[in-house]
Structure 1
Amino acid sequence: MSGTGRAPNYHVPQFMTLAVALLLLLSDATISGVMAADEEPTPLAGEPFHTEVLGEPVKVPPRDRKKVTAASFGISVLPEGPKFYQVLPFGAMYLWRNSDDMKQRFRATLSGPVNDMTMNVGSHSSSGWELRLTFQNMIIPVGRSEYVEAQIIRDVEVEWNYVFGGIGLAYRKLLDPGHQDNAFEVSLTYEPGYRWFKGTSKTSSNFIVPTDTYEGRVHARLRNDALERNLMELPHRGYSFGGDFYYGNRAHWNDWGGGLFGVSSGQQGKQYLMGSVFAVSATPVPFIDSEKHRLIGSVYGGIGQHLDRFSTFRLPGRPTGYEWEAIALPMLPSVAFNELFPTRYGIAHLEYRYEPIFFIYPYVRGSWGIVEQPRFNPDGTVRNIMGSMPAVGGGVVSGAPWSSQIEINYSYNFGIFRDQGNGQSAQGRNGFFIFWSKELS
């Protein structure tokens, strides 16, 4: 997964448990809007912080955010979700290296079957221009079906894998407030790759397996990050926005598919266009003069032309995470990872977050999505329609033992379908996840 947390490095007394923090949340809230004269500022990521809690001194040492190695693990639970996704473990290693002069950077999320790596190399004489190298792969040697209204469609099961490299140019300029990940960056890369496919024992005999093919992509990318992040690496103030735009061309692409989804035109899918954008902002809560109350708003959108099952968007793209690159991937509550494959979507979130104590951040979130999804017709065939997906949820992000971080989340999506058994579906689905990460360096 790409939503990798970056666990802070700090030390707290043993008695600071989650129960104590929740007690403080109930008894010491500052909703009245009057900021205490001695209120301590929210500790920011990487900066030293000294305080007292219940008379005990707490010292948070400075942390070099330019060099991070973190391991993340989680589990997603969808009690009435699609088969094989109702309980899904996930995890990844996260690597980030930013040179002291911020002219060279390496970022990687590594999970074995799915990996994503980028390297930017510049110099003092290049005036912000850099060479950019990329690598992505997905090699999962098992068949994957698709889902319609939470019902598995076995007939279209197929193994599909890819490997893409990339080389191009990037331009980077540092931004206020001046942290190592605050920058404006644009890049243009050519990404040569290869896709290969294989049917399984579950694949219908009438299903036409796609042709193995070379695929070349042109990828234009924009990131503008002016966010200040708190101790838990959550957005505290500022904004971020950006987008990704692709033109792809396949060397060999014939008609493929069949069954409920029909046969897809090889001529139409040989070349495709797609673009996605995002924006995130973190602000104070109006009429409350306190740093401990924050509003985080975010929007995500994407649209494409001539997209198919293997080139289109996959939603949701991450479970959590707000670091420099993961923040660009959309979240969709109570939906299984990559369950939806729309050619167009729009998602908005509004989150209220409170800081009862310096390392605990409970939140509530409302979301609204307009997402293309497959739906059954009365005769059993399938059509793609735009449908609304309102959702509500909440959770808590907290420091945890061994200098780690944990997030616990619950959400309810009113628009996604749940599996009621016996081939029956109904709208509305619960979702839970627990996400734990620890910095290793």
Structure 2
Amino acid sequence: MIRMAGWHLLTLLAVWGGNAWGGEPAAPRYATPLAGDAGSVDLLGQQVRIPARDRGNTLALTLGGTLFAPALGSADALPVAALYGRRETPHSRSRLVFGVFVNELDHAHKFDNFEILAHLENTTVPFPATEIVGGREVRASSVVWGQAAAWVGAGYRLPVAPLQVDNDLRLQLFYEGGYLYSSRTVDSGADVRLPPDTVTHGVRLRGRYDGMRRNIMELLHQGVAGGLDVEWQRRAHWADANYGGADYRKDETQEFVKLSGYLMAAAPVPGLSERDRLIFSVYGGTTAENDLDRFSAFHIGGGPFPCESDDLARIPYPGAEFNQFPVSDYIVGTAEYRRELLFFLYLHLRGTFAWANRDVLSTHPLRFHESRGQALSVGLTSGLPWDSTLYLEYSYDSGILRNGVSGSSLSLLWSKSL
């Protein structure tokens, strides 16, 4: 979650014309202000004090949206609103992401390095979901579907360098139970046959490592992070299904196993200053038995590039809608150059490559087919007054978002610390 350093912009405006006389003395080597740390920086000849901040206790509201050109299916714009909270005590850790129709709540009760874990989530969007081909919605694929789940489990957490609140190695095992539902809409095709609403249950093994140091804007600054998920799930009541294309047999899709992971690194640019950074990431997922369907598939979506520790596993593709398109196998890689213009203002240039087996919504006998895409993004992250931040990004996509048609998007997010 992007954090708040907004009052520094007022400081910049106040000293913009100051200290015009004389040369500057030799300054010590510059160090980027880091998240949570107290310090001071020189801004146009004036010393600006940065207070310490408790990163383990946070509450923030994010508002904004994304514009699409041409439209993404029938959507010219997508609004965004979310509430984020985190609370860390010596005995527990809690995290909340509330987005009305899409929500997550995590809680861990600590026993030294061992933890008892609970997780609640729901994706219950009441509007029809349709897939996109050639830049247009496939109206026959329109369905309303959602799911809610509760996980309980146990884990082992070991703090790691650089020993900030989000730096740890976690090994976790969950049992999860949930409910999956779906229904037709007036646009659903005649051949669309949905499976019955059902209870779901399964087991998830999860590993996380976060050795990242973050800057004052909570952007990745230096270090390595990675994660791995192995998931087995079974639907209690199931049937053959068709989502507008190929048939999915009950005996092939009632149970499934998914494997996914990610690896990220941030480092200085060799030969350049502390202000110049390189960030690399790669995400991948697969299923060995070809047993995924529209609901159980991995889902690639958009949003800002993930930086918060518990958000790092989210698969990012610039300009995409939330969980936009289902895939059975995927690789998504990014390479980013970032420049610190001022200690609260950062410019990034990012390239993204995606390969995926995405769902086929036609009469073709294939369930999934290979799809490739590239995106180029340029953006700014800035602190603003009143403990707020601004994230602005323009992206151009070669065709994977609109499934065959290239296009652009412009995202604007404003976050306010509460």
Q: TM-score if structure 2 supplies the norm length?
A: 0.91
Q: Is the 8 A contact 1:73 1:435 kept in 2?
A: yes
What residue in structure 1 maps to residue 174 of structure 2? 189
Instruction: Look up the match of 1:293.
Output: 276
Look up the equivalent residue of 1:93 and give its one-letter code: L
Return the alpha-carbon distance in structure 2 between the equivalents of residues 13 and 308 of structure 1: 49
Give the corresponding residue for 1:270.
254
Matched letter for residue 16 of structure 1:
L
| 1:417 CA displacement | 5.8
- Measured against aligned partners, the alpha-carbon deviations of 1:268-325 in whole angstroms (never above 9, x if no partner) come to 110001121111111110122x211111111111112411101111112543330011
Say if 1:277 and 1:302, in contact at 8 Å, map to a contact too. Answer: yes
Is residue 149–residue 375 contact of structure 1 (8 Å, CA) maintained in 2? no
User: What residue number does 1:219 align with?
Assistant: 204
Give the aligned CA root-mean-square deviation in angstroms.
Answer: 2.1
More displaced stretch, 362-371 vs 426-435: 426-435
Deviation at 1:13, TM superposition (A): 5.3
Match of 2:376 among 371, 387, 392: 392
Comparing 398-407 and 55-64, the one that deviates more: 55-64
1:114 aligns with 2:98: no
Amino acid at match of 1:216: H
CA-CA distance at 1:172 after TM superposition: 0.2
> What one-letter code is carried by the residue in structure 1 that aligns with 2:85?
L
Q: Secondary structure at the match of 2:146?
A: strand
Matches within 5 A, 1:216-365: 216-257=201-242, 259=244, 261-288=245-272, 290-304=273-287, 305-316=290-301, 318-365=303-350
Any idea what SS the aligned residue of 2:179 has? strand
1:201-236 CA-partner distances (Å, limit 9, x unpaired):
222343222201010021111110000000000111
Structure 2 residue aligned with 1:24: none
Aligned partner of 2:274: which letter? E
**Structure 1 residues 313 and 228: alpha-carbon distance in aligned structure 2, compared to 1, 3 A threshold:** same
| Cα drift, residue 356 of structure 1 | 1.9
Instruction: Indicate yes or no: 2:66 matched with 1:76.
Output: yes
* Structure 1 unaligned blocks of 5 or more: 21-35, 419-424
2:114 to 121, 129, 139: 129
Partner amino acid, structure 2, of 1:293 = D
Shift of 1:163: 1.3
The Cα shift of 1:411 comes to 1.4
- Paired with 2:149 and 2:404, the residues of 1 have a C-alpha distance of 39
Percent identity, please. 30
The corresponding residue for 1:421 is: none
Q: Secondary structure at the match of 1:44?
A: coil
Q: 1:62 — aligned with what?
A: 52
Name which of 404, 428, 435 aligns with 2:406: 428
The 3 A distance-change label for structure 1 pair 13 and 164 is closer
Query: How far off its partner does 1:258 sit?
Result: 5.0
CA distance in 2, matches of 1:10, 1:47: 16
2:8 to 12, 15, 29: 12
Separation (CA, whole Å) in 2 of partners of 1:13 and 1:204:
54
Residue 410 of structure 1 deviates from its aligned partner by 1.0
The corresponding residue for 2:20 is: none
Greater mean deviation of Cα atoms: 332-341 or 277-286: 332-341
Q: Does 1:50 align with 2:40?
A: yes
Give, in angstroms, the shift of residue 134 of structure 1. Answer: 0.7
* Change beyond 3 A, Cα 1:293–1:123: same
Instruction: Provide the residue aligned with 2:183 in structure 1.
Output: 198
8 and 112 in structure 1: CA distance in 2 versus 1, 3 angstrom threshold: same
Judged with a 3 Å threshold, the aligned counterparts in structure 2 of structure 1 residues 142 and 15 are, in CA distance, closer, same or farther, namely same
How many Å separate the matches in 1 of 2:262 and 2:412?
Answer: 25
Contact residue 238 and residue 283 of structure 1 kept, 8 A:
yes
**In the aligned structure 2, how far is the partner of 1:258 from the partner of 1:331?**
25
Deviation at 1:115, TM superposition (A): 0.7
Change over 3 Å in CA distance of 1:385–1:13 after alignment to 2? closer
Q: TM-score, normalised by structure 1?
A: 0.86
Matches within 5 A, 1:24-173: 38-99=28-89, 101=90, 103-124=91-112, 128-173=113-158
Q: Distance in 2 between matches of 1:186 and 1:85?
A: 40
Which AA in structure 1 matches 2:338?
R
Once the two structures are TM-superposed, the CA of residue 132 in structure 1 deviates from its matched residue by 0.5
Where 2:405 maps in the other structure, the secondary structure is strand
Q: CA deviation at 1:392?
A: 1.5
Task: String of CA shifts for 1:344-383, please: whole Å, max 9, x gaps.
Answer: 1101111111112110110111121112235688x98876
Q: Deviations over 1:76-122 (max 9, x none)?
A: 112114234330011211111111x3x42111111111111111111
Q: Distance in 1 between matches of 2:197 and 2:404?
A: 37
Q: 1:311 to 1:8 in 2, by over 3 A?
A: same
